[in-house]
A and B are shown apart, each in its own frame.
Chain A
Amino acid sequence: MTLLDYLAATLLLAGAVFFLAGTLGLLRFPDVYTRLHALTKADNVGLGLTVAGLAVQAESWQVVGKLVLIWMLVLLAGASVAHLIARGALHKGIRPWTP
């Protein structure tokens, strides 16, 4: 394994950790707002690290471009959908959780 492979593996594993944390948050957090927080943050960073890990090993710059484009689209969709769900929940009268 070369240095690049180690870098890619580290990035991919770090991305997996974020996905795991996000999934745990989705399952264990108390209400819809905190779950959205866990899910979108983890998805954005987790996917970003995964994309970075794959980009390190990519064969050409076109592949890197496609990967980054996918990440940008997921960022946009994730943030927008989280906002829409949170707004819908507020509109329905669901109160944010207070400890």
Chain B
Amino acid sequence: MVKLAFDGLVVLLLLWLAWQTLACADLFKAILQFISFSLVMALAWVRLDALDIALAEAAIGAGITGALLLAALARLRASLDGNLSGDGASPDGREVLPVRGLILAGVALATAGLGYAVLSLPETAPGLSQQIEARLGDSGVGSRVTAVLLNFRGYDTLLEMVVLMLALVSVKTFSSTRHAGAAPQDVLQVLSRVVVLPLILVTAYFLWAGTDGHGGAFQAGSVLGAAGVLLLLSGWRLPSPHTGVPLRALIAAGPGLFVIVALVTLLLQGTLLTYPPAYAGSLILLLEIAATFSIGATLAMLFLGGLPGDEDRP
């Protein structure tokens, strides 16, 4: 009874926060509400017993996405010189109504379709969990989530890594001017110095625990990225000898190693990303380590809005 009431409260809070985020005219408030939404969403995933997704939601949804949105808002305000109403209303009020009706009809149709699909599901659907359970021994890891992400559906993760790298390349292409941030404050410097070490420890823990329990490369990478964001906020910059090839190599390491493993397995066995069971465990750990560093570096550089050192070039 208490659990049911709690779950109902979480659902209502989610709906209300989602509505507030969309309807809020002030973009800063909307971002804060989006962060709150992600935190409550993480709580909902915990209640659904999906701890890996809850960790990812809290680290990526609330943490890194929130930081990226706030950084984007700061740039938007700087480029528009504070002239940002965010009202969204059309200057000609009459044209909006039919469009709104059309959108409303589309959303209603999609909701009805989704509702029908959910209601027509069988009462208990085992999905693919039995097949995963049966082949878990061959995967080289003890965690079902990691087995799916890095072994059974490895090419999905490979493509995700490439998408992340492409996002950074796009940001780097479009960010032309870099305005200096506000002068770092003492409190922020102390905070970042104290917190970065535990963050690195948590990264290592997620990475190591991911093979047999909850955690994994994406959670570990986003915690590492958060450490990078905190350091960047406190005024720290990567020393210039490391910003060129070393940083780019680190960012490319995750997708690069994935592609190398894919090619080697393709040449040796004729199938993409099919690890020999004897080496699967160590291969997955190697891939996860590379992916963690790449994700962390990519997310921190996304926050910076490109790669350091670009402004020195003509």
Contact = CB atoms under 8 A, between A and B. Distances in A.
A77 B195 contact: yes
Contacts of B190: 80
Interface string B176-218: 0000000001011011001100100000000000000000000
Contacts of A76: 191, 194-195
A73 interface: yes
Interface in A42-82: 69, 73, 76-77, 80
Nearest to B188: A84
A24 to B, nearest CB: 19
A87 B194 contact: no
Contacts of B195: 73, 76-77
B187 A80 contact: yes
A84 B187 contact: yes
B191 A77 contact: yes
A83 B187 CA distance: 8
A69 B195 CA distance: 12
B185 A87 contact: yes
Contacts of B191: 76-77, 80
Interface string B277-291: 000000000000000
A77 B196 CA distance: 12
Interface SS, A side: helix
A63 to B, nearest CB: 15
Contact of B198 (A73, A83, A84, A87): A73
Nearest to A69: B198
Contacts of B188: 80, 84
A87 B185 CA distance: 10
Contacts of B187: 80, 83-84, 87
A77 B188 CA distance: 10
B169 to A, nearest CB: 33
Residue among A80, A83, A84, A87 having the largest count of chain B Cβ atoms under 10 Å: A80
Nearest to B186: A83
A36 B194 CA distance: 22
A61 B176 CA distance: 53
Interface string B136-178: 0000000000000000000000000000000000000000000
B74 to A, nearest CB: 13
B185 A84 contact: yes
A73 B191 CA distance: 10
A80 B189 CA distance: 10
Contacts of A84: 185, 187-188
B206 to A, nearest CB: 15
A40 to B, nearest CB: 13
B185 to A, nearest CB: 7
B142 to A, nearest CB: 21
Nearest to A91: B182
Contacts of A87: 185, 187
Contacts of B194: 76
A80 B186 CA distance: 10
A5 to B, nearest CB: 17
A37 to B, nearest CB: 17
A83 B188 CA distance: 9
The 9 closest A-B pairs by CB, nearest first: A80-B191, A83-B187, A80-B187, A84-B187, A76-B194, A76-B191, A84-B188, A84-B185, A73-B198
Interface of A: 69, 73, 76-77, 80, 83-84, 87
15 contacts: A69-B198, A73-B195, A73-B198, A76-B191, A76-B194, A76-B195, A77-B191, A77-B195, A80-B187, A80-B188, A80-B190, A83-B187, A84-B185, A84-B188, A87-B187
Given A80-B191, A83-B187, 13 more contacts: A69-B198, A73-B195, A73-B198, A76-B191, A76-B194, A76-B195, A77-B195, A80-B188, A80-B190, A84-B185, A84-B188, A87-B185, A87-B187
